[in-house]
């Protein structure tokens, strides 16, 4: 009776659950007693009321719950993996975009610097006066030691502006304007490039003769500005 109440089925007295068994004995709760070992009403393994025992029902529910839990857990793990992969892709895309922007900025800056250097070299070459002949009157042969230890020479006239020497170094040796000065030894004298001031009209051109570079041969060296 308790089993029927729990399963929600009509209660049948034991008399209605008599198994035929193999030898006609009584069947109690589906187990034949007497001549055979049959189950249920006919000894063939059937339940008399068509319902499984409580233990089997509970086991079935447990298995279904386990399967449902495993399925939900699998879905949860899959969603977590997809979210992690999506977040990783977004980070990688952001890093790639930032790298692309940085590379474009660096390329633009390098291109601008190259254009400015080329323009400065071209302007210096245009501002450079013609080299006077050897041995001419007022000709000054100037030897200049570069930062890498090399020496370059060129002739100027003492009437040429001092900035002509700087123009020569920019056009021939590609030194950056404003990054260096010229120095003579014994006694030490420092010569600054005033090209920008002259071009802006803020200063008058200074000649080699005005700064004392008048000997037939002069020696200078490049001193980089820190």
> Per-residue b/e over 6-43, b at no fewer than 16 CB within 10 Å?
eeeeeeeeeeebbbbbeeebebeebebeeebebbbbbb
Residue matched to tokens 């570079």: 213
Lowest mean pLDDT among 14-18, 147-151, 200-204: 14-18
Lowest mean pLDDT among 37-46, 75-84, 120-129, 146-155: 37-46
The whole-angstrom separation of Cα 153 and Cα 172 is 11
Cα separation of the two ends of the chain: 105
Decide if pLDDT at 24 tops 50: no
**Model pLDDT for residues 76-113, shown as the tens digit of each residue:** 999 999 999 999 999 999 999 999 999 999 999 999 98
Band the pLDDT of 49: cuts 50, 70, 90. Answer: low
How many other CB atoms sit within 10 Å of the CB of residue 170?
Answer: 27
pTM > 0.85: no
Q: Are 138 and 159 in contact (CB under 8 A)?
A: yes
pLDDT above 90 covers what percent of the chain?
A: 43
Please tell me the predicted confidence (pLDDT) of residue 6: 53
For residues 122-144, average pLDDT: 91
Band the pLDDT of 225: cuts 50, 70, 90. Answer: confident
Tell me the longest C-alpha to C-alpha distance in the chain.
150
Lowest mean pLDDT among 12-16, 77-81, 96-100, 120-124: 12-16
């Amino acid at each position: 009776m308790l089993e029927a109440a729990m399963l929600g089925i009509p209660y049948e007295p034991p008399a209605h659950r008599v198994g035929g068994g193999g030898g006609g004995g009584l069947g109690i709760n589906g187990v034949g007693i007497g001549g055979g070992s049959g189950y249920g009403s006919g000894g063939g393994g059937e339940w008399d009321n068509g319902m499984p025992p409580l233990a089997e029902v509970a086991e079935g529910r447990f298995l279904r719950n386990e399967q449902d839990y495993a399925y939900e857990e699998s879905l949860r793990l899959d969603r977590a993996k997809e979210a992690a992969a999506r977040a990783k892709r977004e980070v990688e895309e952001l890093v790639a975009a930032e790298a692309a922007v940085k590379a474009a900025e660096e390329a633009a800056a390098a291109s601008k610097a190259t254009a400015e250097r080329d323009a400065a070299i071209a302007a210096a070459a245009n501002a450079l006066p013609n080299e006077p002949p050897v041995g001419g009157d007022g000709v000054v042969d100037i030897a200049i030691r570069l930062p890498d230890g090399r020496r370059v020479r060129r002739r100027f006239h003492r009437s040429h502006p001092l900035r002509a020497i700087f123009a020569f170094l920019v056009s021939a040796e590609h030194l950056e304007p404003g990054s260096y000065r010229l120095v003579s030894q014994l006694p030490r004298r420092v010569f600054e490039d005033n090209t920008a001031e002259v071009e802006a009209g803020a200063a008058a051109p200074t000649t080699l003769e005005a700064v004392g570079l008048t000997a037939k041969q002069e020696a200078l060296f490049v001193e980089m500005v820190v």
